[in-house]
Chains A and B, each alone.
Chain A
C-alpha cells in the first residue's frame, strides 16, 4: 500500500470518527441542517486535499460543484426568466388583453434558433440569424457606452489641473504613470534616450500595479480560506470561538 493510499484511508477514518461523535453527542442535529453541514465539511476538506496532491476526493468534489452550480443556474433561469417572461405571457395569448405580448414570439424564436446549432447542418444555419442579432445588438450597445465610460470619463480627471497640494501631487503621479506606460507600449519608436527613460519608468509603474494586484489577490484567497476555516471550526466542529 502506498503512502498516499494510507493518507487517504486515515483521512476518511478520522473524518468518519469525528462525524459519528458529532452526531452522537448531538452537536450536529440529525436533520437536513446537520446533514448539510456534514456534506459541506466533507466537500471543503476534499477540495483542500488538493494542496497535498491531486486525488479522487478532490476530483469528486470538483465535479459535484460544477454539476450542482449548473443545475442551480438552470432552475433560476427557468423560474425567474423563462417561466415569468416567456411561458406565462405566451400561454395567455388567447385573451384580448394579452395581444400586446405577441412580440414575445420573435425573441422566443431567436432563442430556439440558437439551439439549432446543436442539430444537423440542415437546420444549424438558423442559429446564424440569432447570433447575428446578438452580435449586432451587443456591438451597438457596447461601443459607445464603453468609449464613454471607460475612455472619455477616465481621460477627463487625468487631464485636470495639477494644484500645489496632496490631490495635485496624486494627479501628477497618475499623469506620469499614464504617459510613461503608454510610451512603454509604443513600439514604433526605438526605446533609447528620453523615450527609453520614460519606458523604464513605465515598467516601474506596471510592476507596482502588478504588485498591488498580487497583494489584493493574496488577501482575497486568504479571505476565502478564513471563511472556510471559520465554517469548519464553528459550524461543523461547533467550537465556541474564540477558545482562548
Chain B
C-alpha cells in the first residue's frame, strides 16, 4: 500500500479527474459565484458606455483550443452590450477566431434583436498585428475600408464616425495568446490612451495582473471563473456557470492528491531519497 501511494499511476489520477468532471456535470447543485472587482470593473465600464450610447471594439483573439474558456465571455459581454444599446465593432487578430466570433455575434444578436450595421459590425480578420493596431489608431477607415460582408465602413452607422482607436469608448480584447500584452497595450493603449479591458484564458491571467496595477487595463476576466462571474453579473447563466461545479470538485480532488503526495513524501519518500 505504501509503495502504491508513493507511486500512484497517473491514469488513476486521470480517472478521478474524469469522474470529478462527469458526476458534477450530471448532477444539480449550485455554488456561490461572487464577481471580483476586476470583472465588475468591465461590467461597470460597459454600463457607462451604454448610458451614453457609445461604441466598443471587441477583438476576438483566440481559437477553438480555448473555446470553452473564452467563448462564454464573448457571449456574456455581447448580451450585455446589446441589452444596454452599446454599439459593437468586432474584429480578429487571429484567423482561427473568425468563425467563433461570427457564431457569438449571430447568437447574441438573434437573442436580443440587434441589427447588423446599426447595432454591430464585424470586420473579420486582418493580418499585421502591431502595424494593424497602429494603423487603426490613426486611420480606422483606411485600415478597414470594408467590413467582413464587404460593406464600406464609412457608410455603416456603427463605424462611420470612428476615425481612430481613441474614438472607441472601450476596447475589450478576448485573448488566448500574447495579443493583449504584446500588441494591444504597447501599440494601442499606450499610444492612443483608450480604455482597455481583457478577457483571457486562465493560463495567461497571472502575467496580466501587472497591467491592472499600472492602470493600462481597467478590468480582467480570467478563465472560466472570470466568464462565470460575468454571467452572474448579467444574470444569464451559461456554460461557464455550469462549468463551475465540475471545476470546483476537480480542484478539491487535485488538492487532495497534492496533500496525499506531500504527506507520503515526508513520511516515507525522504527516507528513500525521494519518491520513485
Contact = CB atoms under 8 A, between A and B. Distances in A.
- A and B form one complex: yes
Contact of B96 (A73, A148, A222): A73
Contact of B190 (A51, A153, A242): A153
A142 B134 CA distance: 12
A80 B145 CA distance: 12
Given A72-B96, A216-B203, A223 B243 contact: yes
A85 B124 CA distance: 13
Contact of B202 (A76, A216, A243): A216
A164 to B, nearest CB: 19
A81 B92 CA distance: 12
Given A51-B14, A156-B214, A226-B243, A233 B206 contact: no
Contacts of A29: none
Given A52-B11, A150-B186, A216 B223 contact: yes
A212 B223 CA distance: 14
A84 to B, nearest CB: 7
B210 A222 contact: no
B186 A77 contact: no
A84 B123 CA distance: 12
Chain A, interface residues (CB within 8 Å), range: 35 or more
B203 A242 contact: no
Contact of B205 (A77, A153, A216, A225): A216
A220 interface: yes
Contact of A141 (B187, B205, B207): B187
B275 interface: no
Contact of B246 (A72, A213, A229): A229
Interface in A190-238: 209, 212-213, 216-220, 222-230, 233
Nearest to A76: B95
B126 interface: yes
A124 interface: no
B186 A218 contact: no
A31 to B, nearest CB: 18
B26 A145 contact: no
A149 B125 contact: no
Interface residues of B, number: 59
Contacts of A157: 213-215
B12 to A, nearest CB: 11
A154 interface: yes
**Interface residue SS majority, chain A:** helix
A225 B21 contact: yes
Interface string B48-86: 000000000000000101111100000000000000000
Contacts, number: 148
Contacts of A233: 22, 25-26
A46 to B, nearest CB: 16
Given A52-B11, A226-B224, A242 B17 contact: no
A20 B170 CA distance: 50
Given A142-B130, A226-B247, A72 B186 contact: no
Contact of B191 (A145, A174, A219, A241): A145
Given A76-B95, A153-B190, A218 B254 contact: yes
B203 A220 contact: yes
Contact of B95 (A77, A225, A241, A244): A77
Contacts of A84: 146
A137 B135 CA distance: 14
B11 A141 contact: no
A54 B246 CA distance: 27
Given A222-B247, A224-B65, A212 B239 contact: no
The 9 A-B pairs of least Cβ separation, nearest first, read A227-B68, A76-B95, A220-B202, A149-B186, A242-B28, A223-B224, A145-B186, A219-B202, A149-B190
8 contacts: A51-B14, A145-B187, A213-B203, A220-B201, A222-B246, A226-B21, A233-B26, A242-B27
Given A84-B146, A157-B213, A219-B202, 16 more contacts: A51-B14, A52-B11, A72-B96, A76-B96, A142-B130, A212-B206, A213-B206, A213-B207, A219-B251, A223-B68, A223-B223, A223-B243, A227-B68, A229-B18, A229-B21, A229-B22
